[in-house]
Amino acid sequence: MILTRIGIRGVRNLEDAELQPAAGANLVYGPNASGKTSLLEAVYLLAHARSFRTAQIRHVIGTDQKGMLVHGHIVDPEGEKENRLGIERTRESTTLRLNQQTVRQSSLLAQKLPLQLLTPESIRLLEQGPGQRRRYLDWGLFHVEHAFHSAWNEYSRALKQRNAGLRSGAKPEQVRLWDTSLVERGEQISRLRERYVESLKDTLSRISERLLGFAPDFAYRRGWKKEIDLESALEASLERDRQHGVTSVGPHRADLVCLVNGVPVQDRFSRGQLKMLVCAMRLAQAEHLAQVQSRRPIFLVDDIAAELDPDRRNALLAILRESGVQLFLTATEREQLDVTGWESRKMFHVEHGKIAEVV
Ligand SMILES: Nc1ncnc2c1ncn2[C@@H]1O[C@H](COP(=O)(O)OP(=O)(O)O)[C@@H](O)[C@H]1O
Ligand SMILES: [Mg+2]
């Protein structure tokens, strides 16, 4: 997908801006604290209706502003179909718009604008608990598997009810009432995730080989014992679950493990290697999406120069260029990142919140 226009008002320190990004690389450069990450944040807000820097979206509103507004035009380069996305936030409420209509669910915007983010914090995908890795898988499934989103919503609802029941000391026969949809949706989610991991593996290996020189093994752990189905697993853990007041088995406990010679990568790899592996994981998802739907996500890449040496940086940029995605990337100096090989490119200079296209 290509963001052909973006309008920004009242976002952090940024002055009001109307930009027409290039279909290829957009290099955003400027000194520290000038507003570069805030510009990426504005793009991210359009897709997710939340920020990647704060759980409180109102903190994104500029200090002296009553509210903020981000709107953008998204086109699909092949179909040339245009969608207009908008998010407006006042101190009190958020309004989302899709093609001039107010919409309730942020998933409607997310669906139109698949987005991949790489920041210095992205390494958490491998360093932290399994939640991030489940979200990683679910990003892909959300975009490629029609049934996934509603299956996940139903599963979450049933899980919430079951947990509330467990906490309030419900009897076993009451708890079992929730298990029907939990089992049905849980098994479905598991199958979809397993299939997704399988279909991602080859691409993931190939890109890891290229960026890291070798490919780790990825395996999906579904969140309950191998030999049994989810229904039996829930039954087997019922007593323990009643004691703890929480459901301990199911796809909400799944993980995507990543091993090198049988050891988890996070125990073996250097920070730089982990960072490259995260890049490989994100790129693999992008390529998979392009294969199955001819849609390419937009990449937001913040501050890579800060952590990757020039060779790694260039390797990453080369793959991004070949993959044909639209890219927004930040640097403190324009010479730090070489985008001269991109057929379509623009540069934006940011200083004290003022964004100016450099011609
Ligand atoms: N809500 C806000 N209102 C006004 N300014 C803010 C707000 N939040 C952060 N800032 C300021 O915006 C500036 C730009 O931040 P940032 O986009 O992270 O810069 P960069 O990525 O260029 O280093 C910082 O000086 C920060 O203190
Ligand atoms: Mg920054």
Same domain, 281 and 135: yes
Q: Would you state the pLDDT for residue 82?
A: 94
User: pTM of the entire structure?
Assistant: 0.96
Same domain, 239 and 185: yes
Tens digits of per-residue pLDDT, 66-119? 999 999 999 987 767 899 999 999 989 999 999 999 999 999 999 999 999 999
Same domain, 176 and 159: yes
Same domain, 282 and 300: no
- Which domain, by its residues, includes 173? 123-293
- The CATH number of the domain where 129 resides is what? 1.20.1050.90
Residue 187 Cα to ligand 1 middle (Å):
44
Give the pair of three-digit tokens for residue 109.
């915007």
Same domain, 137 and 286: yes
- Residue that is last in its domain, among 246, 263, 293: 293
- Residue that is last in its domain, among 293, 315, 349: 293
How many separate domains does the chain show? 2
Of 198, 79, 192, 183, the closest CA to residue 142 belongs to 192
- Angle subtended at Cα 120 by Cα 253 and Cα 136, rounded to the nearest 5 degrees: 30
Q: Which residues are in the CB-under-5-Å shell of ion ligand 2?
A: 37
Same domain, 144 and 284: yes
Q: For residue 205, which amino acid is it?
A: S
Pairing of strands 2-9, 17-19: antiparallel
The ligand whose atoms approach the alpha carbon of 119 most closely is 2
Residues with CB under 6 A from ligand 1: 12-13, 30, 32-38, 59, 61-63
Residue 330 Cα to ligand 1 middle (Å):
14
Q: Give the residue ranges of the chain where pLDDT is below 70.
A: 79
Q: Which atom of ligand 1 is nearest to the CA of 330?
A: 21
Strands annotated E in 78-139 = 82-90, 94-98, 101-103, 115-118
Same domain, 151 and 259: yes
Same domain, 99 and 144: no
What b-and-e string marks burial along 317-343, b requiring 16 or more CB atoms within 10 Å of the CB?
bebbbebebbbbbbbeebebbebeebe
- Report helix, strand and coil shares of the chain as percent, to nearest 5: 50, 25, 30
Same domain, 72 and 11: yes
The ligand whose atoms approach the alpha carbon of 13 most closely is 1
Residue 146 Cα to ligand 1 middle (Å):
38
- The CATH number of the domain where 320 resides is what? 3.40.50.300
Same domain, 142 and 268: yes
Same domain, 246 and 329: no
Phi, psi of 322, deg, nearest 5: -65, -30
Q: Would you state the pLDDT for residue 79?
A: 63
